[in-house]
Chains A and B, each alone.
Chain A
Amino acid sequence: MKKLFLLLLPGMVFLAGSAEAQLQKGTKYWGGTISFNGTLNHNQDKFDKDNVSKTRRPIISPEAQLGWFVSDKTMLGVGLRYSIQQEKTIYEPSGHKSSTLSQSLQLLPFVRQYYGLGNRWALFIHGELAPNYSWWKSKSEDVTTITTKRDLWQYGLAVKPGVVYTFPNKKWSVEAYTNFLSLSFNYMPIPEDNGRQFTVDSGFGTGFPSYFSLRIARYLQPKN
């Protein structure tokens, strides 16, 4: 980690350097990352101690990618991104429960173009298609149980740069995506009211990138 940071900093700023092939046609690739967070809350009425509500809200988002180098600099691949969030509240003493389960799944075919910066460093431009299927299920349990379901498709296209550092053992790498010079489009039809939503995000500028998203990766060289 220490060396990663020490080398990441100038590496992100200085693009010049002797290109040295560290990747080659036939190299296989996989990468992944995960993030999670959550809260647990307990609320109690001061004057009616039995009047209590408890809320639990975990979120987990794993992502995995597979790829193959079709030339020394170009990789084709596919990623899978999943996110699950559950929010559950129990009210006492009534016993009323409400819960919402939100999930989304993205299949991400992508193409990457690499620019080598020596044995351990490389920059890449990552372009991906991002069809996204999201679905929600809400449940309210009281005297009667009411369940509502909803689902939605949206379609995205994103281009973003990144940097990869390979550790000296050449087995593991760390990649960082950034919002520096990024561009993304998203189209979301809304069937309920025959509407649609279109979003464009871009991050062009000469300032230092303000955001990096990290993941672990492996580049498996073909056996000669």
Chain B
Amino acid sequence: MKNLIICLLTGAFVTAQSPALAQFKEGEKFISGSFYLNLFDNKVKDIDSQYRRYNHTIGVSMGKFKSNTMATGWGLSHSLAFQKLENFNIDPKPLQTLGFGIERFWEFYKPLNDKFALYVRPDAGLSYTLKNSFDVIDDRIARETQDNSFLLGFDISAGIAWRLAPKWVMYGSFAFSNPIYISYGFGKITHTVNPRPDGQYPQTNTRGFAYNFAPQLSSGSIGLGFRYFY
């Protein structure tokens, strides 16, 4: 994948010696999206064990060019994961993760020729995630943890856009950064072994705040995608 990006970049850079022409026009609108679904089912009759898992993620992004070299837009995302696990002392909560996110993005383009343009894309996003997890000690679920977190972050990515058809543009992004974020979370940790004398299980309510500033870029996730223009 990385080499593909480099090949694309090579083509873009070499052809950049010709006079630059704008690929995009003010007023053009675009949309891109993703939908991933995963199902898993495992059953072992001899030991009465069953493990089922379902998860999906959905993302939609829409934007509009404000000038030939600048676009803005909004992105929405959603994720959901369920599981059913039956071979421990308790059945853990079926809901694993539930997430919603919204982002506002700005894209700045530098045309290289009539097909290729480099772009940089800062965005600011707000997300909410509910996560249930558990700890296994000596083959028993000893603790269940529930965490609700809100994250406000600033990201930046960059890459190259290739207008391969009037209605379609291919995007390759290869520099990501998450330099600034703050997050607030609350939840609970419930013990599921060693109950109290009154029969109830110990429980701790948690809340926390985190912040981060790191002037670092990571290209750990290099991606290719398409956008439809209308």
Contacts and interface: CB of A to CB of B under 8 A. Distances in A.
Interface of A: 1-2, 5-6, 8-10, 13-14, 33-47, 176, 206-215
A37 B214 contact: yes
B9 A33 contact: no
A47 B215 contact: no
A210 B220 contact: yes
A61 to B, nearest CB: 9
A215 B211 CA distance: 20
Contacts of B212: 36-37
B213 A43 contact: no
Nearest to B121: A5
A13 B219 contact: no
B214 A35 contact: yes
B194 interface: no
Nearest to B112: A10
19 contacts: A2-B108, A9-B118, A13-B6, A14-B13, A36-B212, A37-B212, A37-B213, A38-B210, A39-B208, A40-B209, A43-B205, A44-B206, A45-B205, A47-B200, A210-B220, A211-B218, A211-B220, A212-B219, A213-B215
Contact of B118 (A6, A38, A39): A6
The dominant DSSP class at the B interface is: strand
Contact of A10 (B9, B215, B219): B9
Nearest to A37: B212
Interface string B123-134: 000000000000
Given A39-B208, A45-B203, A211-B220, 11 more contacts: A6-B158, A9-B118, A9-B159, A9-B174, A10-B118, A35-B214, A45-B205, A47-B202, A207-B2, A208-B219, A214-B217
Contacts of A212: 175, 216-219
B10 interface: yes
A42 B204 CA distance: 10
Contacts of B217: 176, 211-212, 214
